[in-house]
A and B are shown apart, each in its own frame.
Chain A
Amino acid sequence: MNKKWWLVSPPVFLLISFCVIPLFIMVYYSFLSDGTTGHLTLQNYLNFFQKGFYLKLTWKTISTSLLVTIICILIGFPMAYIMAKVINSGKNIILIAIIIPFWTSQLVRAYSWQNLLRDGGILEIILRKLHIIGPEPLGILFTQTAVIIALIHIFFPYMVITIYMSLEKMDTSLIEASKSLNAGPFTTFWRIILPLSKPGIISGSILVFVPSLGVFVEPRILGGTEGSVIGTVIEDQFFEIYGWNFGAAVAFILLMIVFISTTVLSKFAKEEV
């Protein structure tokens, strides 16, 4: 064994004491019947799986996250492609424009979206000026649509940057080689560009999908009564109802969903290449 192991001991110590141990305490809580005392039980987990409400909410959370991920790919890929392969100058400006919103608090951004999307807000005024909508109110705020728009805005940079990096690494002459072998733009995209940027798309998808599963700020601020997702349930249990045991159980179910989805996605990335 390497004698330099002690060099990593401070981070290992920090990780164990502030991350691993608390995590195990929470696992323990999720099997307790009441607060920090009570007896060991499976009831918290059973409650979750026996109530259709929670299962529906789980599905809603997963499908929302999937939708956000897919839209991020659809918008992010062309943008990353243009940055990596089409334009020669101005890349840095675009990158900075993508990264700057990162430095703004998620809460502030959520409230900004509330202002943009509310009835009588800026978006409504603009759309009406352009005659895209009539005199009726916009009606987006406090719906699932508002939440999805905000989530795309928040997680989109992860997708663009990871795809951009995989395209940037790709030798442009591969695209030219494909064209010289009589493959048109569509075939070149489908058989060369897409397979070679797959690792970037998949890691981008993990970076968007996983945090989307756990959000609670945006659903609360922009989703209104329609906005409940697993994240808001967990938040309610911990901060409103003080139902730590059930909250912990739901949190671990969510963690399992994360584990399973990342495993499946990374397997996907490893195929071929």
Chain B
Amino acid sequence: MAYLAIKNLSKSFQNNLVLDHINFEIEKGTFLSLLGPSGCGKTTTLRLIAGFEHQDEGTIHIGGNTIDTLPPYKRNIGLVFQSYALFPHMTVGQNIAYGLEQRNFTKGDIKKEVSKALEMVQLTGFENRKPRQLSGGQQQRVALARALVIKPSLLLLDESLSALDKKLRVDMQIELRQIQKEVGITTLFVTHDQEEAMTLSDQIAVMKNGKIVQMDTPQNIYKNPVNSFVASFIGQSNFLKGRIKENSQFVLQNGSTFSLPQQDYSLYNQEEYIISVRPEKIRVDQTRPSYPHIQGKVKFVTYIGNLSMYLIEALGHDIRIQQQNDSYRDQLKVNDEIYFSWNASDQSILTE
């Protein structure tokens, strides 16, 4: 059995099914993000593992043992809260020592462990500060040190970075990942921020309505989303809904037709499909190419510095295209007539 195994976990609040028989397993040392919109059950999963709520059905195993019957204070799980939850009446040192005191460490050992933990999060010398004297980023680090110092079997992070401003958040992401790898601790990170999940995780579990829609590495989820929800939740995508006909022809719901890139489509025999293509995977030509393409007109241009986003009017749809602003590529202008296409390997053919 894997290090952390969640089996058939279910939870309802007042007849409202929040978590619907979810299953997943991860190996020791893995960084897994539970990603999804609010109300998808990700926080409930975390609270069930921490022991603050109790599941209606299912089991949670850590290291081969079930923890279902243990109260939170016997589960040996490190937690970093969204609000950090540092004890305001204690100093930084006392906050970090708190968990060690519960384990009957000697005074000397506690002192040693606290200074080691502070060194790990680069806050040496902050022992005697009160939490309110620290910046958001520093509080975040103290919370992390406090959770890790007890050498937990699992680290749970609850939207822990979302309270920080963007620049600091990116720094903390890198630092968090480094510390996580250094300590080698199995980590479960709850977030609604797909970028954060992509940056930090070995694995991402995308959740919706109390179920795991897809669980895979960030690369695979981005490249091969299982449905349009995942494709639109992780990054951006263009969706074209319609029927696949002979000769790789695709008929959209509004009747417009175009040729799909060369590929064997004989297996796609259902009524309706959704073609999903990422904006950055679309190739633009300003002269008519020989391979299958679609003709369109630039409707709107957004300049983002290193990138430009274009809104293209084609086939009665709005298509988003993203391009690098290279020195050898001209920026498109509004009303430019263009021809665009993509490789068969860059499209996902989805059923929902």
List chain A positions with a Cβ less than 8 A from chain B.
171, 173-174, 176-185, 187-188, 191-192, 195-196, 272-273
Task: Report Cα–Cα, A206/B276, bound state, in Å.
Answer: 68
- Residues on A with C-beta less than 8 A from B72 are 176, 179-180
Instruction: Give Cα A188 to B98, complex, Å.
Output: 10
Contacts A183-B102, A273-B89 hold; do A173 and B76 have CB atoms under 8 A apart?
no
A252 to B: closest C-beta gap in Å: 38
B305 at the binding interface (Cβ < 8 Å) = no
Find out whether the CB atom of B98 lies under 8 angstroms from the CB atom of A180. no
Q: A182-B103, A187-B102 are in contact. Are A196 and B73 (CB under 8 A)?
A: no
Select from chain A the residue with minimum beta-carbon distance to B78.
A180
Instruction: Report yes or no: A177 in contact with B81, Cβ–Cβ below 8 A.
Output: yes
How many Å from the CB of B95 to the closest CB on chain A? Answer: 9
B88 interface hit (Cβ, 8 Å): yes
A177→B79 contact, CB < 8 A:
yes
Q: A182 touching B83 by the CB < 8 A rule? A: no
**Nearest CB of chain B from residue A178's CB, rounded to whole Å:** 7
Are the C-beta atoms of B85 and A173 separated by less than 8 Å? yes
Given A176-B50, A182-B99, A183-B98, verify A192-B83 contact (CB < 8 Å).
no
What B residues does A183 contact at CB under 8 A? 73, 98-99, 102
Q: Is the CB of B73 within 8 A of A179?
A: yes
Q: Is B74 an interface residue (CB 8 A)?
A: yes
User: Which positions 216-242 of chain B face chain A at CB distance < 8 Å?
Assistant: none
B293 at the interface (CB under 8 A from A): no
Q: Is B3 part of the binding interface, using a Cβ–Cβ cutoff of 8 Å?
A: no
Q: Please give, as numbers and ranges, the residues of chain B lying within 8 Å of A180 by CB-CB distance.
A: 50, 72-73, 75, 77-79, 147
A97 CA / B99 CA spacing, docked (Å): 40
A177: B residues at CB distance < 8 A: 79, 81, 85-87, 146
Interface range on chain B: under 10, 10 to 19, 20 to 34, or 35 or more?
20 to 34
Q: Which chain B residue lies CB-closest to A184? A: B73
B150 at the interface (CB under 8 A from A): yes
Give Cα distance in the complex from A1 to B71, angstroms: 60
List B contacts of A181 (CB < 8 A): 73, 98-99, 102, 146-147, 150
Cross-chain contact of B150 among A178, A182, A196 (Cβ < 8 A): A182
Interface string of B39-77 (1 = CB under 8 A from A): 000000000001110000000000000000001111111
With A176-B81, A178-B98, A182-B150 known as contacts, the answer to whether A195 contacts B89 (CB < 8 A) is yes
Q: What are 9 inter-chain pairs, A to B, with CB distance below 8 A?
A: A171-B85, A176-B72, A179-B51, A180-B50, A180-B73, A180-B77, A182-B74, A184-B73, A273-B89
Interface residues, chain B, with chain A CB atoms under 8 Å away: 50-52, 71-79, 81-83, 85-89, 98-99, 102-103, 146-147, 150
Nearest CB to that of A172 among chain B residues? B85
Of the listed residues B75, B76, B85, B99, the one surrounded by the most CB atoms of chain A closer than 10 A to its CB is: B85
| A93 CA to B82 CA, complexed, in Å | 31
Known: A180-B79, A182-B99, A188-B73. 12 other contacts (CB 8 A): A176-B81, A177-B81, A178-B87, A179-B52, A179-B73, A180-B73, A181-B150, A182-B73, A183-B98, A187-B102, A191-B98, A196-B89
Interface centre among A173, A179, A180, by most B CB within 10 Å? A180
For B87, give its contact among A179, A187, A192 (CB under 8 Å). Answer: A192
* Residue of A171, A176, A179, A181 most packed against chain B (CB within 10 A): A181
**In the bound complex, do residue B85 and residue A176 qualify as a contact, i.e. CB atoms below 8 Å apart?**
yes
Question: What's the least CB distance linking B128 to chain A, in Å?
Answer: 14
In the bound complex, what is the Cα–Cα distance between A195 and B150 (angstroms)?
23
Nearest chain B residue, comparing its CB with the CB of A177 = B85
Q: How far is the CA of A182 from the CA of B81 in the complex (A)?
A: 16
Given A179-B72, A181-B102, A182-B150: A196 in contact with B81 (beta carbons within 8 A):
no
The 7 closest A-B pairs by CB, nearest first: A181-B99, A177-B85, A173-B85, A182-B102, A180-B79, A179-B72, A173-B81
Query: A176 and B103: CB pair below 8 A?
Result: no
Q: In this complex, what residue of B is CB-closest to A182?
A: B102
Give chain B residues whose Cβ lies under 8 Å from the Cβ of A195. 89
Residues of chain B within 8 A of A178, CB atoms compared:
87, 98
- The answer to whether A176 touches B79, judged by C-beta atoms less than 8 angstroms apart, is yes
Which of A179, A182, A191, A273 lies in contact with B88, CB distance below 8 A? Answer: A273
CA distance A272 to B73 in the complex (A): 26
CB–CB B83/A173 < 8 A: yes
* B82 partner residues in chain A, CB cutoff 8 A: 173
Write the nearest CB–CB distance from B185 to chain A, whole angstroms. Answer: 14
Q: Which residues of A lie under 8 Å from residue B147 when comparing CB positions?
A: 180-181
A182 vs B73: C-alpha distance when bound (angstroms): 4
Given the complex of chains A and B, what is the CA–CA distance between A178 and B150 in angstroms? 12
Contacts of B146 in A (CB 8 A): 177, 181
B83 and A171 within 8 A (CB): yes
Shortest B82–chain A CB gap in Å is 8
The answer for the CA separation of A191 and B90 in the assembled complex, in Å, is: 10
A174 touches B98 (CB 8 A): no
Contacts of A184 in B (CB 8 A): 71, 73
Q: CA of A119 to CA of B201 in the docked complex: distance in angstroms? A: 74
- Shortest CB-to-CB span from B283 to chain A, Å, is 49
Residue of A179, A183, A196, A272 ringed by the most chain B CB atoms within 10 A:
A179
Cα A11 to Cα B85 in complex, Å, equals 43
In Å, the complex CA distance between A185 and B51 comes to 14
CB distance from A271 to the nearest CB of B (A): 10
Q: Assess whether B102 is in contact with A174, with CB atoms less than 8 Å apart.
A: no
Contact (A176, B52) CB under 8 Å given A181-B146, A182-B99, A182-B150: yes
Chain B residues whose C-beta falls within 8 Å of the C-beta of A191 in the assembled complex:
98
Report the minimal beta-carbon distance from B114 to chain A, rounded to whole angstroms.
13
Complex interface: chain A residues within 8 A of B103 (CB): 182
Q: Which residues of A contact B150 (CB under 8 A)?
A: 181-182
